[in-house]
Structure 1
Amino acid sequence: MTEVDTGDDISILLDWLSSEIFPINGKQSLNIPHRIKNITRNTTNSHSYLPVFQRLLYSLASNLEIYHTGNIISFLKFLESSTNNLNIIYSLFKFNNNDLTILKRSEFSIYQDLIKQKWNDLIIFFSNDYSSDDLYLVSKILMKINLFDELDNFIFQLSKCKIIQKIDLMYNDKPIFEELENWIINDLYLSFESLVSFKNSKIFKDCLVIISKNILILKRIDQIYILVEKYPETTETLKEFNECLSKVSQKDLLVENFILNLNENLLLPSIKTIDIILYYIKTIHSFLLIDHRGVLLDKVARPIRSYLCMRNNSVEKIVNGLLSTDRENNKLIELNDELNKTLKFSSNLNINIPLNLQKRTLNWQPDPVDALPDFQVGKIDDIVDSLTSIFNNNNMFINQFVNIFAVDLLNINDYNIQNILQNLSLLKSKFLKNDFNKIDIMINDIIKSKSLDLKINNTSKTQYSIHGMFLSHLYWPNLESSSSSTSSFKFPDLIQNDLDAYELRYKEYQKGRTLKLHPNNTKANIEIELNGVKRNFSVTLDKLIILNFIQESKMDVVKLGIIVMKLGMPLQLVKSSLEYWVNENILIEINGGWKINE
């Protein structure tokens, strides 16, 4: 019988194990020599090898790091082959279950540390195209080495990458969340559901939806200025904010980003006031879609409101927008529509409750504590109130209303003030009625003028049918300056005689009163026959005087300087009168002067 050298057996066994546990050359197949099989077959106490195996595992672990060349999938395949080989070696030594558990823990701790170190490489690899085999390999290895939480994290990270790619592919100014959510539930979720651990499987679907909302909302926040600018085309897209915006940090970022864009693109000296007002109105509509309570609106509106308050023509633009019914030229026609809507609604209900309060009564909710007064219930969705509340008091608006109503009243025909009365009624529904005392007096002047003028013309026979407006000069703006600029008018005898007769009749009806003539506010009805065609005009006296002067002149053409000098009229008034008759084809401009168009 041959004597066996036990010391040699141990040395041979250790050398072989050192070459097969995490081999430095990366070989994947396990070669078990006959001598090794005999040594392990004769082993009576495998437990004695446990410390040896543990030391070898930790000492040879560096070989794994050396083997990683940057390809994470190849590295994982090598880990898989290594653990398979180790399983065979463990079975060769016939370790009991307790020893096997200890060995697997040691082995897995090595794998776990390595994979955590290479985690970014793993995520980067799977952020691009990958095969289902690659995904299966990663999942199998992570589960095998007890990295279940890491596997869940990996699946969530991978899902997030997929969602980002999908959103980038789908993204436009139209709403996309509904389609995105369907894709997540019916495609992405089903693809990864089986890989998620049991403890996270119930929340996996909801988490994917939340992730998609967060990613989409960040992209929308980046585009918020443009989305508001394109309102109302982006109405449905703005509603997505209401569905996806949930975190306080997201809301803060939305406000911060929007205000930054306002300062860079809108609140600049080069931007017209009317364009700023238009964007402000769009901001109100847009942010009420995002947050119907108005808390976010209050925050983003402050810079615009402050800037409009500093613009010296803001009130003028707002007032013109309120009163003008010209849908082609009034860019702020929405303000006029709001006024009409308010009056119509209040009239139908026959009560004095403001429109915005009536609309909200059935769906009333208390104001949020962080909503400031300008955007509390009763003002939040009223564009007119939102604009007028920018300024500390209504005096600026009332003064502007007085100026505009004065011009409109002086330009009416046949004393017809129906449209003006309607506009005044609309404004009184938004402001205090007492604010309009001056305008009420001016309107009363016109009403009385109509009655008195009718009496005068019924009892006075004149060449021209003169129609005057008898104005309470203390209440009409700029009346004195207008009078002084036209007081030196020189009237032809026929017109002067008619004016004298008209004044005489006035004094008969208005005992103790005197008249101060405003030629550009006094009208005459005339009939002009030109080329066999008769036309009737109701024109102010300045226009009548100029036409009469040119008609009676013996010059081929009448120059501008001659008209100014002979009639004593202001240059600008002469120009506007000449332009009027040219537009009516009564005069033609030729050789630097004007003549009757015969």
Structure 2
Amino acid sequence: MTAVMDSTDIQVSDDTTTLLDWLSSQIFPISGPQELNIPLRIRNITRNTADSHIYLPIFQRLLYSLASNLESQYDGNVMAFFKCLESSTTNLNLIYIFFKFSNNDIILLKRSEFSIYQDFIQSIWDDLISLFSENHKSSDLYLVSKILMKINLFDELDNFIFQLSKCRIIHKINNMYDVQPIYESLKTWIINDLYLSFESLVSFKNSKVFKDCLLLIAKNHLISKRTNQIYDLVENFPFTTETLKEFNVCLNKTSQKDLLVEQFILMLNKNLLLPSIKTTDIILYYIKTIHALLLIDHRGVLLDKVARPIRSYLCMRNDTVEKIVNGLLSTDREHNKLIELNDELNKNLFHSTNSGSSVASSSLQKRTLNWQPDPIDALPDFQVGKIDDTIDSLTSIFNDNNLFINQFVNIFSVDLLNITDYNISNILKNLSLLKSKFSNDDFNKIDIMLNDIVKSKSLDLKINHVLQTNNSIHGVFLSHLYWPNLSSNVALFKFPPAIQNDLAAYELRYKNLQNGRSLKLHPQNTKADIDIEVNGVKKSYLVTLDKLAVLNFIDESNLEPVKLGIIVMNLGMPLQLVKTSLEFWVTENILVESNGGWKVNE
């Protein structure tokens, strides 16, 4: 049997081929965007077709073949791709209408079409973000946004705008970053510039939170940079006060706070908590840390965490107590690097005297108007009401207050022994300040020492009222069991005859007034006023009796020079005490060394 080909079949085949060729040229043309121009032959084909639904498989097959061709057609030019995409989606939409597809068919075709575009755009997403993060034209941005909306990538459009905004914010922060605060200026720029530029491009569901998200991005990046700089910001306090307050505004996440603590402790161990760093400098930085961290977190939770390694390190230093006590008591602003402790001590007494309320409560009210309970993760040392008291924070490093009390006793005893006019007003003031911070009972020894000085003034006045001596002698009568600087092994030695006679007369008068009680002289704490003229220059000194005895012996000796052994033997003075006295007078240029001995510098 011979098969006969129907002319109608040939006609349909030719039409299909023609239709496929033409459609292929319209779907994402390699030559770039072009206007839709439907040839007459294509119009005739569709005109002779009663049901356009028969072309649906052809369109679907062509669309899916497009998916494999996009990658080969894409040359890395993002904007060229989106311009072609704009033309292609527009033309295809017109073609769907031209072929008189039903609404259901059009929906099906568009789903296929958009799915292809969506997948490919996801693959070039990094190129898209990179292009706009560096620079962009407003027209290009709106074109990309329009296409993403057109192909139903609304979430991706939001993501694109957010990422682009993030890049611009980071770029802005990097350009304007400074040790001075920048957040308020950054916030103004975001609200009045960046937000207004991008607001219309964000989907409705995210538009309400868009501004807050931009501000959050700014806060996160700014805090990230500030965290890396936290050690220097604290070191430069109080000049960085306003910048430190930015942490309080910008810290939002627990992870950010943890990173801040971790970074700070890392820098502490690297730069501060080292044997080469002086204890005073560590204490000074610790004080700055207290002030700075309370600006960041007024509840003190962060301070508690970063302070622990500093407190532990200071606790191991042998001179920490001494440095704190000296800082509390010294009023020398030029040499006392911890003068703030003295200022706070005086301030505490003033407030407690005048307001009747604690400084801690007052400062707490300044920090926050809303009461909050103590953080459960804060140490007792840092509970609200105590945390911003620098003195309490320092003294609480040690569990035993006696360490501080003993140091106070040592310092006060030295100061009292150096008094020449029985005037203890300054010491009484300092003691009153300390009692405002410590218990009164802790200072019993100092009270006894002060009482010794007060009684000594009265007794000395009675002795000198009737006593006639060549030298002016004034005694301080000490309850030696309570004075830490009085050695039980007092070095006694021979005094110059004139002084020896005056001391004997003074002691006799004392016995008469005190019902036979005797005195035990303490030469190392007994001082004499002397005037010395060397080479026509007159100098006045207040020196202890050992120094006076050594100088007097050399001056009156017939030997020149006077050997060390001669001095020791004749005065009966310990060798080391003689050496110390000689070194003092040589330093003052009163004595000079000569031929293995000493003589007066004339």
TM-score by length of 1: 0.92
**Residue number in structure 1 paired with 2:112:** 106
Shift of 1:239: 0.8
2:319 pairs with one of 313, 337, 350: 313
Q: Does 1:492 align with 2:470?
A: no
1:546 pairs with one of 535, 545, 550: 550
**Residue number in structure 1 paired with 2:474:** 467
Shift of 1:376: 1.3
* 1:523/1:59 CA distance change after superposition, 3 Å: same
- Contact kept in structure 2, 1:305 and 1:390, CA below 8 Å: yes
For 1:267, the aligned partner's letter is: L
2:165 pairs with one of 159, 165, 168: 159
Shift of 1:585: 6.4
**Residue number in structure 2 paired with 1:171:** 177
2:520 pairs with one of 506, 516, 520: 516
Q: Does 1:226 align with 2:232?
A: yes
Matches of 2:596 and 2:200, distance apart in 1: 91
Deviates more, 1:143-152 or 1:258-267: 258-267
Matches of 2:462 and 2:537, distance apart in 1: 31
For 1:290, the aligned partner's letter is: I
Matches of 1:522 and 1:62, distance apart in 2: 105
Q: List aligned pairs for 1:43-62, cutoff 5 A.
A: 43-62=49-68
Secondary structure, counterpart of 1:379 in structure 2:
coil
For 1:479, the aligned partner's letter is: L
Q: Does 1:249 align with 2:255?
A: yes
Q: Which runs of 5+ in 1 are unaligned?
A: none
Matches of 2:595 and 2:91, distance apart in 1: 110
* 1:575/1:151 CA distance change after superposition, 3 Å: farther
* 1:459/1:527 CA distance change after superposition, 3 Å: farther
- Contact kept in structure 2, 1:543 and 1:577, CA below 8 Å: yes
Q: List aligned pairs for 1:189-228, cutoff 5 A.
A: 189-228=195-234
Matches of 2:343 and 2:292, distance apart in 1: 18
Shift of 1:232: 0.9
Encode CA deviations 1:426-451: one digit per residue, 9 max, x unaligned.
11111110111111111111111222
**Residue number in structure 1 paired with 2:3:** none
**Residue number in structure 2 paired with 1:185:** 191
**Residue number in structure 2 paired with 1:376:** 383
Matches of 1:578 and 1:347, distance apart in 2: 50
* 1:262/1:413 CA distance change after superposition, 3 Å: same
For 1:472, the aligned partner's letter is: S
Shift of 1:582: 6.0
Matches of 1:587 and 1:343, distance apart in 2: 49
1:134 pairs with one of 133, 140, 149: 140
Q: Does 1:145 align with 2:158?
A: no
Secondary structure, counterpart of 1:61 in structure 2:
helix
* 1:539/1:455 CA distance change after superposition, 3 Å: farther
Matches of 2:563 and 2:232, distance apart in 1: 55
**Residue number in structure 1 paired with 2:272:** 266
Q: Does 1:343 align with 2:349?
A: yes
- Contact kept in structure 1, 2:33 and 2:83, CA below 8 Å: no
1:41 pairs with one of 47, 52, 57: 47
For 2:395, the aligned partner's letter is: T
CA-based RMSD: 2.5
For 2:548, the aligned partner's letter is: L
**Residue number in structure 2 paired with 1:409:** 416
- Contact kept in structure 2, 1:228 and 1:282, CA below 8 Å: yes
Matches of 2:336 and 2:567, distance apart in 1: 36
**Residue number in structure 2 paired with 1:501:** 505
- Contact kept in structure 2, 1:466 and 1:523, CA below 8 Å: no
Matches of 2:436 and 2:483, distance apart in 1: 23
Shift of 1:397: 0.8
Shift of 1:490: 2.1
- Contact kept in structure 1, 2:413 and 2:485, CA below 8 Å: no
Matches of 1:571 and 1:594, distance apart in 2: 15
- Contact kept in structure 2, 1:43 and 1:93, CA below 8 Å: no
TM-score by length of 2: 0.91
Encode CA deviations 1:283-304: one digit per residue, 9 max, x unaligned.
1000111111111111111111
Q: List aligned pairs for 1:566-585, cutoff 5 A.
A: 566-570=570-574, 573-574=577-578, 577-578=581-582, 581=585
Q: List aligned pairs for 1:275-290, cutoff 5 A.
A: 275-290=281-296
* 1:158/1:395 CA distance change after superposition, 3 Å: same
Encode CA deviations 1:116-160: one digit per residue, 9 max, x unaligned.
222122112222122223212211211111212211111111111
Deviates more, 1:538-547 or 1:146-155: 538-547
Encode CA deviations 1:328-375: one digit per residue, 9 max, x unaligned.
1111111111111111222223x4x43323544685724333233111
- Contact kept in structure 2, 1:466 and 1:525, CA below 8 Å: no
2:27 pairs with one of 12, 21, 29: 21
For 1:203, the aligned partner's letter is: V
- Contact kept in structure 2, 1:295 and 1:368, CA below 8 Å: no
Secondary structure, counterpart of 1:524 in structure 2:
strand
Shift of 1:504: 1.1
1:122 pairs with one of 120, 128, 133: 128
Q: Does 1:12 align with 2:5?
A: no
